[in-house]
Structure 1
Amino acid sequence: MRSGEPVLRVRDVHKSYRRRSVLEGVSFDLPAGQLAGIVGENGAGKSTLLRILVGDLPLDSGSVDCRGVLGHCPQETVLHDAFTVEQHLRFFQSAYGLDSLERAYELLEILHCTEYRHARLGTLSGGTRQKLNLTLALMHDPQVLLLDEPYQGFDWDTYLRFWDLAADLRDRGCSVLVVSHLAYDASRLDRLYRLHDGVLTETERLSVTMGTPVVNGAGS
C-alpha cells in the first residue's frame, strides 16, 4: 500500500458501559507510513478504544476498517513465567504461520535482548519482558501496529532504540499508533491526538505537556 493511503479508518465510534459513555464519536485515519500518537489521562477511554481497534471489544456504533495485517502490543503482556524467550517465539511462530524466526531474532538484536533467548520469563526484569512483548507484536511484519504504553520499564538506551525502531517501521511503510498517558517525545510523531472524556481531537505535537519516562536499571 502506498505511503499516505489510509490503512486504518475509524469512523464515529461510540461505546458506553451501561449509562457511562466512554467513547463519543471517535474518528481518525491512520495512513500507510505514518507514526501517530494518542495521548490521554487514565480513564480517558484509551484502553477501550484499543480493544475495539483490535477486535477484542464490540463497539456500540460506528465502524473500524483495517486494511492490513495487524500487530498489537498490549500494556498487559500475554507471557508465561515458566517459558523461555525462545519458547515464546516458537509459540507465536506457529500462531502466525511463519517459516522462520529470522525477523524475531533481528528484533531481539535491535532491542539488545538476544542474550536472554534461553532465559525463563520469571527471571527477567520488567523492561526485558516488555522487549519480548514488543518483539512478539512485530515478528510477523504487520502493516498496522498498535502499541499501548510500549516503552514502560525501558531503560534510557532502550527507550531511544524504541523510537529508532518506530521510525524505521514507518519508513518501511508500516502504520504505527502509539497510545500513552503522556507524550514524552511528541516531536517524533507525524500526528498527535488527545483523547479526553471520550472525545478525540488532533492537537499540535509540541502543545502537549512533556515528561520523562520512568526507566529501569541494568538488564532492562
Structure 2
Amino acid sequence: MTVEAEVALRARNVHQAYGKHRVLRGADLTVRRGELAAVVGENGAGKSTLLTALAGIRPPDRGEVDVRGRLGYCPQEPVLSHSLTAAQHLRYFAAAYRLSGVDRGLELLRALNSERYLDTSVAEMSGGTRQKLNLALALLHDPDVLLLDEPYQGFDWETYLHFWDLVQDLRDRGKAIVVITHLVFEQERFDQLAELADGRIHPRTRTSEDARVHA
C-alpha cells in the first residue's frame, strides 16, 4: 500500500467565512488510516467551523476536503430527541444507516458503561450520558473516518478511560480519528498534534504544559 493510499482525510486550503468574518484562512490537514490527530484551539478559533467543513455539513467557501470511506461525526452538542430513549435512537439511526440491527450500538454503550440507560429518555439523562449516546450513534455504522468535537466533555474518570480504550481499538482497526479540543491532557496518546490559530492549522510542539490538569 502506498503512502498516498493510506490517506483517509485530506483538507487543502480550506477557507470559511461568516459574512465579513473570515474564520478559516487556508487550513490544511492530512490524517492517515490508524492515525489519531488532535486539533487544539482557543474558544472562538474556529474549531467547530473546521469540523463542519470536514464533515461536509457546511462546505468550505474555498479549498477542498477529501474523505475516503465512511464518515462519522460527533458534534459537541448532541443532536438528540429529548422524548426518545437511547434504544429508540439506536433503532432509528440503524434504520437510517440501513443496518440490520443495533448490536454495534449495544456494544458501544456497554463499552462506555451506559447500557443501563437504554430505556431512559434523553430528557432524563445527564449531560455526560447524552454525550456517550452521541458518540455511540456516531460510531454505529463503523465509520472509517471519525470526527469528534470535544468528545469526552462531561465524562467521569472511568468513562474517560473507557473512551480511550475504544479509541485504541478503532486505531488498531485502521480508523482515522480527529479530535477537536481546547485542551490536550495526554499528548502521548496522539500521533499528530496541531493548533488552529489565525484560521490556519499549525504543527504543535509537545510540551509539559498540555499535560497539566486545569481547575
- Residue 209 (structure 1) shift: 2.7
- SS in structure 2 of the partner of residue 209 of structure 1: helix
| Contact 1:35/1:167 (8 A) holds in 2 | no
Aligned partner of 2:95 in structure 1 is: 94
- SS in structure 1 of the partner of residue 207 of structure 2: helix
| Contact 1:189/1:205 (8 A) holds in 2 | no
Gaps of 5+ in 2: none
User: What TM-score does the superposition give when structure 1 sets the normalisation length?
Assistant: 0.92
The 1-side partners of 2:140 and 2:102 are apart by 8
The 2-side partners of 1:84 and 1:28 are apart by 37
After superposition, give the CA deviation of every residue in 1:62-118 in whole Å (9 maximum; x if it has no partner): 110111100000011111111111000011011110011111111111001111111
The 1-side partners of 2:37 and 2:162 are apart by 17
Aligned partner of 1:161 in structure 2 is: 162
The 1-side partners of 2:64 and 2:95 are apart by 31
How large is the RMSD of aligned CA atoms in angstroms? 1.8
| Contact 1:33/1:173 (8 A) holds in 2 | yes
- SS in structure 2 of the partner of residue 63 of structure 1: strand
The 2-side partners of 1:143 and 1:213 are apart by 33
The reply on whether 1:18 has 2:52 as its aligned counterpart is: no
Aligned partner of 1:206 in structure 2 is: 207
1:190 alignment partner AA: D
The 2-side partners of 1:177 and 1:99 are apart by 28
The reply on whether 1:117 has 2:125 as its aligned counterpart is: no
- SS in structure 2 of the partner of residue 135 of structure 1: helix
Aligned partner of 1:147 in structure 2 is: 148
Aligned partner of 1:218 in structure 2 is: none
User: What TM-score does the superposition give when structure 2 sets the normalisation length?
Assistant: 0.94
Gaps of 5+ in 1: 215-220
* TM superposition outliers: structure 1 runs of 4+ over 3 Å: 1-4, 205-208, 210-214
Aligned partner of 1:70 in structure 2 is: 71
Aligned partner of 2:61 in structure 1 is: 60
The 2-side partners of 1:90 and 1:206 are apart by 44
- Residue 213 (structure 1) shift: 7.5
5 Å-filtered alignment, 1:77-88, equals: 77-88=78-89
| Structure 1 residues 43 and 129: alpha-carbon distance in aligned structure 2, compared to 1, 3 A threshold | same
| Contact 2:91/2:101 (8 A) holds in 1 | no
| Contact 1:148/1:178 (8 A) holds in 2 | yes
**How many residues get paired?**
214
| Contact 2:186/2:210 (8 A) holds in 1 | no
2:86 alignment partner AA: V
| Structure 1 residues 33 and 118: alpha-carbon distance in aligned structure 2, compared to 1, 3 A threshold | same
The 2-side partners of 1:159 and 1:2 are apart by 35
5 Å-filtered alignment, 1:20-39, equals: 20-39=21-40
- Residue 211 (structure 1) shift: 4.2
| Contact 1:11/1:64 (8 A) holds in 2 | yes
